[in-house]
Structure 1
Amino acid sequence: MMPRTALDFYKSHISPPDEICRRFSLSEIQFSTQAFDDRLVIGRGSFGKVYKCTIYHRFETIVVAVKRLNFLSSQGAPEFWAEVEMLGKLHHCNLVSLIGYCNEKQEMVLVYEYMKHGTLEDQLHKAEYSPSWLQRLGICIDAAHGLNYLHTGTNTQHGVIHRDVKTSNILLDENFRAKISDFGLAKTSPTNQAHSCVSTQVKGTFGYIDPAYFYTGKLTRKSDVYAFGVVLLEVLCGRPAVDATLDEEQWGLAAWALDFIRKGKPNQIIDPRIRGQISPNCVKEFARVAISCLHDDPKSRPTMVEVVAKLVFILSLQERMGDLNSNTTFIKKVRSLFGCNDYMKCNSWTLVDDDGSDSESIEEDIELLNTPVPVDADNLKQEQDDSVPLIRFDATSFFTMADLLRAPAENISRTGYSSIYRVRLDDGHHLMVKRLIKKFFNKTFEIQVSVHGKIRHKNIMPLQACYNHKSEALLIYTSSENGTLASFLNG
């Protein structure tokens, strides 16, 4: 039965704030934790203890992690309420979910979703079995997604600077998917200013603190990027950000690792547990990303969306090398470029050559992707080059670049940055092809592929495929039979 009024419709789609982040009574918390029984403790930190327990929530019993603030902790009420406020507003599959909180009788408690594999720090330095190289890459991509969402994708005028990015604040679920946690030190910053800063008292964790922030007190999103660069080195090297058991000149991971990387010796700092799993090209590219994040000048560091793109490329390189050692068809499943939320679901990115076969080398694919294929501006037809592959986002799409170029096409729209064509394939299917104007290639193409390519929802037109090289950038969509709302309203 459809909602009868606009208010009914609103209520059916939006959960009230108190249901998103619930306030628990102290008696509920005490009952669930068995009066804070130490046998349920799964973690300790400067804030206090974390308990694993079950709690009744939304008509079911769920497993949760309960963080109890120690009244002697350096983290007090401001950090507690900052966490509640931040996670009450932010929802992303790479941010840990805050289920609720309790503030009663001088007890301050936070209730989170339970993350089976604990922290990345534990997995790297304390676990009996360390994550594989591919698992580590996936974790880095997930964490980068979460940080990018904080910086630019919160759907508000203000992004969020985490201010305490570190391996102990990256939690792992049962599938080793990563989620950013602990927002007690987070600060908001305008998203429409690329280099906006917040003047604030320096806080964070030694080994991860951005030197520029430490010396000036000016916090920017690039401060998080610096800290994430340290996390990348920690993942690659398998040693903590600060290790006082070593010689003094080796205490800090960042300075120690950068010295090897700048000398062209990144292979010498790889964690021995993954040394045989990582290809030389991946080591080189991964080290390059880390060193760019740690640049002395914050303005020269990449944004988190750029870090995500580079890490996804490294993962594709690593997976491709694995595929080349087998006889399987080259189908790469890469983690979604941007995470899901309640309304949008992401699926895997599949890259398949036009003939469905595997290429002989990664160098061959790079050469093919960079081969120019001129396209006539009027009808999108041109000399065919069957060797150039499309990147497809829908595995059910079987058209090739040759099919696209020889099909009848009609120019139906022009904008300030693209021309749009309706193309009819030989099998009768229609596609809509957006051809980007050259000077808008990089930014527009990156945004469309990064965001739109990963979204699958009944109310969003799916991106079927894309094509990009030095002279052409094409975005290929399913054609809409009835055109746009604008054309419908205007006849």
Structure 2
Amino acid sequence: MSLNDIKMGTKNFDYDNFIEDGIFWLLYEGEVTNTSVFVKRWFTKSHQTHIQFLTELDILFRHKHDNIISLVGYCIENDEQIIVYEHASNGRLKKHLSDPRLTWKKRLKICINVAKGLEFLHEGGVGKGDGILHRDIKSSSILLDHDWNAKISNLDFSCKETVYESPKHIDDKDCNSMGYIDPEYESGTFLTKKSDIYSLGVVLFEMLCGRPAWIKGCVDHSQSLGPLALSYYKENKNFDDMIFMGIKEQIAPQSFSKFYKIAIRCIKPQGKFRPTTSKVVLELEKAMEIQEDYETWEAKLPIDYKEIISLSKTQKIYDSIEMTRDLHDVFTKGILLQDDKVVKNEEATNFQQFLKSNSKQDQVSTRN
């Protein structure tokens, strides 16, 4: 792709087309050869910049996936190093975290997309080669297209699996990465796939809580969203207070439970207790299935169904039902109240049989 076309498409890198900057680059949007694109213009004053440029370019060439930002072209001309990506009209996920228009179902969809993209990298792509660590998963590294499909971007820090680096490298990264860094890596251990899983877990909690991992007032990692969520879990606090008000009423209880459990596992302090990306995908898809089922069947339940269940002697049985359609089936068959309490199905059946038996005996007595 020619430098002239890129300059024309970005109005010679005009400030009005500028989106954000990183340690090694500036990002613009524009239109090149009649296609809306993102343009990442790399600084050219250091050897490290050149390494990061080649790293990202190589990964984008070899790892093509629906949930990884696509390469449109690149340019190495007149000391310029530029990568051109597909455009994502809804921009970065971070700016939508506190937007109530981003419903719970949309949030689940985005989380599944990110987990699938990361799974693809971790498994080494189509050829199942060396696993790739992203190393910078965060809400500002996730782009959203017009259909709210998530695209993982910012692959310049990526590397092959199991690379040891001094935690001093973290200090060179901008504060936007604070709050996502694996505490094991921060303390000087090996960088692994489980480091990405920790970052992914933080993003999951950002989606649930409607806020960034690192907010004004945070002094160190311990005050960011990940450790805060983990403290709620360890102290058995009600997490309801942390859920974003804009989506709280939408979430099916069992969908929340499934999502919360896998998110907590992702941010476990020790990497060996964190799940694989495949497991995360599986659990998030289950949370989505439960949510979709809830939205379809909940409206068909009796208006006072929650009150009826609260009368049950065995409420846990009803609370353990994941799929709302199964709960609907229970109500369709009928709920028996005895002494203002809901009777279990087996008890209800026996009680109904008892009533029928007594009714027949009464009828016989009447005839006699």
TM-score above 0.5? yes
- Equivalent residue number for residue 346 of structure 2: none
Secondary structure of 2:299's aligned partner: coil
Structure in which a larger fraction of residues adopt strand: 1
Identity across aligned pairs (percent)?
Answer: 35
CA distance in 2, matches of 1:327, 1:146: 36
Secondary structure of 2:241's aligned partner: helix
Q: Does the 8 A contact of 2:94 with 2:139 survive in 1? A: yes
Secondary structure of 1:302's aligned partner: coil
1:120-135 pair list within 5 angstroms: 120-125=93-98, 130-135=101-106
Higher relative contact order (CA 8 A, sep 6+): 2
CA distance in 2, matches of 1:103, 1:201: 31
1:173-184 pair list within 5 angstroms: 173-184=145-156
Give the Å deviation of 1:75: 6.8
- Equivalent residue number for residue 148 of structure 1: 119
Secondary structure of 1:65's aligned partner: strand
Give the Å deviation of 1:317: 1.1
1:157 corresponds to which of 125, 129, 132: 129
Q: Does the 8 A contact of 1:266 with 1:287 survive in 2? A: no
1:104-155 CA distance string (max 9 Å, x none): 2222211000000011111115x6x541111000000000000001111511
CA distance in 2, matches of 1:119, 1:147: 17
Pick closer, same or farther for the CA change 1:250–1:163 going to 2, 3 Å. closer
1:314 corresponds to which of 273, 287, 292: 287
Q: Which runs of 4+ in 1 moved over 6 A?
A: 72-75, 247-250
Matched, 1:273 2:273: no
Q: Does the 8 A contact of 2:294 with 2:325 survive in 1? A: no
1:179-205 CA distance string (max 9 Å, x none): 11111011113xxxxxxx222344562
1:243 corresponds to which of 206, 215, 221: 215
CA distance in 2, matches of 1:248, 1:98: 36
1:301-355 CA distance string (max 9 Å, x none): 1100000000011111111111112359xxxxxxxxxxxxxxxxxxxxxxxxxxx
Q: Does the 8 A contact of 2:293 with 2:325 survive in 1? A: no
Give the Å deviation of 1:43: 3.5
The number of residue pairs the alignment matches comes to 299
Matched, 1:37 2:10: no
- Equivalent residue number for residue 256 of structure 2: 283
Give the Å deviation of 1:210: 0.7
Secondary structure of 1:53's aligned partner: strand
Q: TM-score scaled to structure 2, two decimals?
A: 0.75
Pick closer, same or farther for the CA change 1:181–1:290 going to 2, 3 Å. same
CA distance in 1, matches of 2:135, 2:219: 28
- Equivalent residue number for residue 31 of structure 2: 54
Secondary structure of 1:290's aligned partner: helix
CA distance in 1, matches of 2:194, 2:219: 30
Structure in which a larger fraction of residues adopt helix: 2
Pick closer, same or farther for the CA change 1:85–1:248 going to 2, 3 Å. closer
1:343-372 CA distance string (max 9 Å, x none): xxxxxxxxxxxxxxx9442897xxxxxxxx
1:7-47 CA distance string (max 9 Å, x none): xxxxxxxxxxxxxxxxx222221122121112222334444
CA distance in 1, matches of 2:102, 2:61: 31
Letter in 1 for 2:31: T
1:108-257 pair list within 5 angstroms: 108-125=81-98, 130-154=101-125, 155-189=127-161, 197-202=162-167, 203=169, 205-245=177-217, 251-257=223-229
CA distance in 2, matches of 1:201, 1:100: 33
CA distance in 1, matches of 2:248, 2:190: 38
Give the Å deviation of 1:177: 0.6
Give the Å deviation of 1:222: 0.8
Matched, 1:93 2:66: yes
Secondary structure of 2:246's aligned partner: helix
Pick closer, same or farther for the CA change 1:230–1:55 going to 2, 3 Å. same
Give the Å deviation of 1:207: 0.9
Secondary structure of 1:199's aligned partner: coil
Q: TM-score scaled to structure 1, two decimals?
A: 0.57
Pick closer, same or farther for the CA change 1:201–1:81 going to 2, 3 Å. farther
Letter in 2 for 1:324: W
Q: Does the 8 A contact of 1:32 with 1:53 survive in 2? A: yes
Pick closer, same or farther for the CA change 1:151–1:246 going to 2, 3 Å. closer
Q: Does the 8 A contact of 1:286 with 1:311 survive in 2? A: yes
Letter in 2 for 1:39: D
Letter in 2 for 1:305: S
1:198-232 CA distance string (max 9 Å, x none): 22344562211111122234111111111101111
Pick closer, same or farther for the CA change 1:199–1:44 going to 2, 3 Å. closer
2:274 corresponds to which of 301, 314, 330: 301
Letter in 2 for 1:258: L
Give the Å deviation of 1:69: 2.3
1:361 corresponds to which of 300, 304, 327: 327
Letter in 2 for 1:107: E
Q: Does the 8 A contact of 1:260 with 1:269 survive in 2? A: no
1:6-45 pair list within 5 angstroms: 24-45=1-22
Gap runs ≥5 in structure 2:
171-176, 302-323, 331-368
Q: Does the 8 A contact of 1:249 with 1:256 survive in 2? A: no
CA distance in 2, matches of 1:69, 1:307: 34
Gap runs ≥5 in structure 1:
1-23, 190-196, 329-357, 365-491
CA distance in 2, matches of 1:253, 1:299: 21
Give the Å deviation of 1:235: 0.7
Give the root-mean-square deviation of aligned CA atoms: 2.5
Secondary structure of 2:27's aligned partner: strand
Give the Å deviation of 1:249: 9.3
CA distance in 2, matches of 1:230, 1:359: 32
Give the Å deviation of 1:48: 4.0
- Equivalent residue number for residue 13 of structure 1: none
Rg comparison, structure with higher value:
2
